């Protein structure tokens, strides 16, 4: 709750602990030194309250213009009447021109300029999974100069996953097929050994290893004499032999030589990965690296923010080395590591004094900073307090929606300015004509024509605002999506990396369909609404290909269609339901 990280913080005798957090293993006696309003959780609540109450209201441009415009028009109408009477006009002509000035002037067009554009903009955002809580947030977002990002659960997945597996003594030639492949005696055997030891542990790193083994179809070995060693790892017995799983400190304490893999372990650590050592019968058996992996679209999103002229800052409670590793992968401009909730709030407050700042986060520890920022943006899968503290909620929990939200704000503000310009331009042209300036050349307006012209101006403003319904985020390029995959130590870095281009994903999967040898019995095309960019394409594609009987799916962003290639009869309702569950609207084309 406090650090917001995916891995628990180790504690020992005498260390301070925080109320409302969870002890993952064992038991301990705690002395309550702070209670009630002095607790860390109460302090977070106080920071949120202070930040929320200190937000300055945004003055409406249209309100300021209308406040001047209406009395000015009344004065012009009075002056028009007086001038016509002075120059010898009839009372009827003077009244007609004065009334025409009042009728043709259009404060309603000015009044409609802002709310209609904001209403359409927020509706377009909601259809795209971007929920904007207030008009102020939508207005402010266009001026954002800095985006502050939480790391865990925002840039990264928020839970540890296995990235690399190394078995000691495994011949490199046998490692090329990847980890845990069925039939590979070395990888599967070591993974079975590691999963068996970790299965009884409740630690998130242990659960990551067990989940990975399950995904590979590898069952853990039978274990006896399970024992957790605080601050080190796990000791157990397998087939009568003592087995260990833990950190380097545990290996050194039991005189297990791991020096041959010191460089490899250091490389993993420099890359932000946690290394677990496994030993059997007094000898090192292997290593497994676990990390909170980066979300596929994080690098694309941060690159898009840079293209928009917005700087990025990553705030994290994690250590500096891990933070720097994430920085290298995704390209954030600045990193501040080891921060607590009050530190995040202070950093955002300091940055806000230099310009408009947005904060993106998902955890309880992010809530004060979300409330303090000019625009708080919460990940939809985050905690309730984060969502409550934010101004904008990203329902797809996708960082690529951050530049999309800012782009929507910029498009909305541009539309508002267009509305205000044309409303003012209309009045500047029409009011002099209504006052009778062009009577000398035969141009004279009566009140009925003026009323029709006034109504037309409002229709034009509303029509211009409705153009926002066609808005789509303009990403510079699809970019590359990095998907770290676990790999055996066969190369120089002990990992196998996979990259795929989002824009060509459909083509690749079509080729894979041909390689399977399965016959495609039919194709079904769906009309999909709500897709804005290539990561939306990836969402729809993944949803369709997750259905049994769908061999491949091709999604066309421009056409708004998705074509599913079927090897079995799949009901239309099943295809539509999959796309709807992914957050989009669909129907059979």
Residue 391's nearest CA partner among 379, 375, 407 is 375
Q: How many residues are present in the chain?
A: 589
C-alpha span between 284 and 339 (Å, rounded): 36
Q: Are 356 and 343 in contact (CB under 8 A)?
A: no
Strand 130-132 with 392-394, pairing = antiparallel
Residue 263's nearest CA partner among 250, 278, 275, 249 is 275
Q: Are 263 and 448 in contact (CB under 8 A)?
A: no
C-alpha span between 198 and 190 (Å, rounded): 12
The three-class DSSP label of residue 217 is coil
Write the CB contacts of 215 (distance below 8 Å, at least 6 apart in sequence): none
Q: Are 227 and 234 in contact (CB under 8 A)?
A: yes
Name the E strands within 220-310: 224-229, 233-238, 241-246, 274-280, 283-294
Strand 375-379 with 357-361, pairing = parallel
The three-class DSSP label of residue 346 is helix
Longest dimension (CA), the chain: 118
Q: Are 195 and 218 in contact (CB under 8 A)?
A: yes
Write the CB contacts of 437 (distance below 8 Å, at least 6 apart in sequence): none
C-alpha span between 269 and 321 (Å, rounded): 8
What totals of helices (H) and strands (E) does the chain contain, helices first?
A: 19, 20
Q: Which residue blocks in 373-434 are alpha helix, DSSP H?
A: 384-389, 401-434
Active site residue 581: no
In angstroms, the Cα distances linking 217 to 191, 204, 225, 365 are 10, 20, 25, 37
- Selecting among 15, 49, 143, 150, the annotated active-site residue is 150
C-alpha span between 292 and 6 (Å, rounded): 7
Residues known to be catalytic: 150
């Amino acid at each position: 709750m406090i650090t917001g990280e995916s891995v628990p913080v180790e504690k020992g005798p005498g260390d301070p602990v925080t109320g409302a957090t969870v002890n993952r293993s064992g038991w301990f006696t705690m002395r309550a030194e702070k209670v009630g309003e002095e607790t860390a959780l109460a302090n977070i609540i106080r920071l949120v309250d202070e930040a929320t109450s200190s937000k300055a209201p945004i003055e409406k441009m249209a309100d300021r213009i209308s406040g001047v415009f209406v009395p000015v028009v009344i004065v012009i109408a009075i002056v028009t009447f007086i001038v016509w009477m002075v120059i010898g006009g009839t009372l009827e002509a003077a009244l007609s021109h004065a009334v025409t000035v009042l009728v043709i002037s259009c404060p309603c067009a000015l009044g409609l300029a802002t709310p209609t554009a904001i209403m359409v903009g927020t509706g377009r955002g909601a259809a795209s999974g971007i929920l904007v809580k207030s008009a102020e947030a939508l207005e402010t977002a266009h001026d954002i100069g800095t985006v502050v990002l939480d790391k865990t659960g925002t840039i990264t997945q928020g839970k540890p996953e296995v990235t690399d597996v190394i078995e000691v003594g495994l011949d490199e030639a046998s490692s090329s097929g990847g980890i845990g492949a069925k039939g590979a005696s070395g990888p599967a055997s070591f993974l079975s050994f590691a999963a068996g030891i970790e299965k009884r542990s409740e630690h998130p790193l242990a659960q990551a290893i067990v989940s990975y083994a399950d995904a590979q179809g590898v069952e853990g070995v039978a274990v006896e004499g399970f024992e957790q060693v605080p601050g080190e790892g796990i000791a157990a017995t397998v087939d009568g032999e003592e087995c260990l799983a833990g950190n380097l400190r545990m290996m050194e304490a039991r005189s297990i030589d791991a020096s041959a893999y010191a460089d490899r372990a250091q490389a993993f650590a420099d890359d932000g990965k946690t290394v677990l050592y496994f030993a059997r019968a007094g000898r090192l058996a292997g290593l497994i690296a676990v990390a909170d992996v980066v979300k596929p679209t994080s690098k694309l999103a941060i690159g898009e923010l840079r293209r928009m002229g917005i700087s990025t800052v990553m705030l994290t409670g994690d250590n500096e080395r891990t933070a720097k590793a994430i920085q290298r992968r995704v390209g954030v401009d600045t990193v501040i590591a080891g921060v607590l909730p009050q530190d995040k709030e202070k950093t955002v407050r300091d940055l806000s004094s230099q310009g408009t700042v947005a904060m993106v986060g998902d955890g309880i520890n992010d809530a004060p900073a979300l409330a303090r920022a000019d625009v708080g943006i919460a990940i939809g899968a985050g905690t309730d307090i984060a969502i409550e503290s934010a101004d904008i909620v990203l329902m797809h929990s996708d960082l690529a929606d951050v530049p999309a939200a800012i782009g929507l704000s910029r498009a909305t503000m541009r539309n508002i300015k267009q509305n205000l310009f044309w409303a003012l331009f209309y009045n500047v042209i029409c009011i002099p004509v209504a006052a009778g300036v062009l009577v000398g050349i035969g141009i004279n307006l009566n009140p009925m024509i003026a009323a029709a012209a006034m109504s037309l101006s409002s229709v034009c403003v509303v029509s211009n605002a409705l153009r926002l319904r066609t808005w789509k985020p303009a990403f510079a390029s699809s970019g590359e999506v990095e998907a770290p995959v676990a790999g055996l130590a066969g190369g120089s870095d002990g990992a196998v990396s996979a990259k795929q281009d989002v824009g060509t994903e459909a083509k690749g999967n079509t080729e894979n369909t041909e390689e399977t040898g399965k016959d495609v019995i039919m194709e079904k095309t769906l009309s999909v609404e709500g897709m804005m960019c290539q990561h939306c394409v990836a969402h729809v594609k993944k949803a369709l290909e997750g259905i049994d009987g769908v061999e491949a799916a091709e999604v066309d962003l421009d056409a708004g269609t998705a074509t599913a290639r079927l090897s079995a009869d799949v009901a239309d309702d099943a295809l539509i339901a999959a796309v709807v569950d992914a957050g989009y609207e669909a129907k059979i084309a």
